[in-house]
Amino acid sequence: MLQILGAVVNVPHEVLVVVDDRADTSVPVVESISATYARLRWVHNDLGRGVLNALRAGVAAAQGRYILIFAADEVGPVLAIDDMIELMDGGCDLVSCTRYAHGGRRLGGSLVGGILSRTANRLFRALTHCQLTDATTGIKMFTRQAFERLHLEAKPVGWAVAFEMSIKAQLAGLRLGEVPIVSIDRLYGGKSTFRVGPWTAEYFRWFLWGMRELRKHRGEVPALQVRVPAATAALGGKVRM
């Protein structure tokens, strides 16, 4: 992942690896690599287990103008960074990637999880007019100020907090952007922790909450900005700013 980052990202950046436990096996790996990749460091999440607390710890430690979050087993987000930055520089407060529109695709990962994710996103958008076509993805770039406005509270179950972020970002009237990616899950890193029961329950809780709140707040919201990478545009996508 770091080799890909070094090859495709030309802006000054840092890479934070957030761990819940100082004994995490990622720590010695990060420390050994940081000798040659000086912009890499690990951050101890001492706020409690789960993605939300990991995000809070990472955001608090981050020094950059923009913050990008994604799981370390994802390849697609790295290739979308330049386009996400373009949208952020163009005035967006939060940019989310999409696997389900503008030429985006999802490859690999859990078959059941993929079916549930695709179906839930399409149904949620149809019922709520949610701007984002992939509200559940955890691949998001934002400013620290935007993150602090969301007041996140999802339970530490999977990446449900990413769904909450999408809903609350629209409710807050943030200027949203979207970039399609080809998501390739689990090339490395062992077995997924996806569990149908608890994950579905937490996502469904935010599905119902979001459906109720977005229907109540149908006021004026800034138009979604979409940036399709050149390679995707050549295959039939269109660049919309």
Q: Could you tell me if residue 50 is inside a domain? A: no
In a domain, 209, yes or no: yes
Residue matched to tokens 């940019």 = 95
Decide which of 165 and 129 is more confident.
165
Report the distance separating Cα 180 and Cα 173, nearest Å: 22
In a domain, 148, yes or no: yes
Can you tell me the mean pLDDT for 144-167?
A: 93
Residues facing residue 69 across a β-bridge: 140
**Which is it for strands 67-69 and 140-142: parallel, antiparallel or unpaired?**
antiparallel
The band of 190, judged by pLDDT with boundaries at 50, 70 and 90, is low
Q: Which residues have a Cβ under 8 Å from the Cβ of 62 and sit 6 or more positions away?
A: 14, 16, 144
What per-residue confidence (pLDDT) applies to 111?
Answer: 77
Residue 225 placed within a domain? yes
Does the pLDDT at position 169 exceed 70?
yes
What's the CA angle centered on 165, arms 147 and 95, to 5 degrees? 75
Q: Judge whether 34 lies within some domain.
A: no
Average pLDDT over residues 54-77: 90
Could you tell me if residue 99 is inside a domain? yes
Confidence of residue 76 (pLDDT cuts 50, 70, 90): confident
For residue 121, tell me if it sits in a domain: yes
Query: Is residue 165 scored above 90 in pLDDT?
Result: yes
Looking at the domain assignment, is residue 81 inside a domain? yes
Indicate the helix (H) or strand (E) that contains 95.
strand 94-98
Confidence of residue 187 (pLDDT cuts 50, 70, 90): low
Residue entry with tokens 């607390």:
53
* Dist. CA 27–CA 115, nearest whole Å: 34
Whole-angstrom Cα distance, residue 80 to residue 211?
29
Report the number of distinct structural domains present in the chain.
1
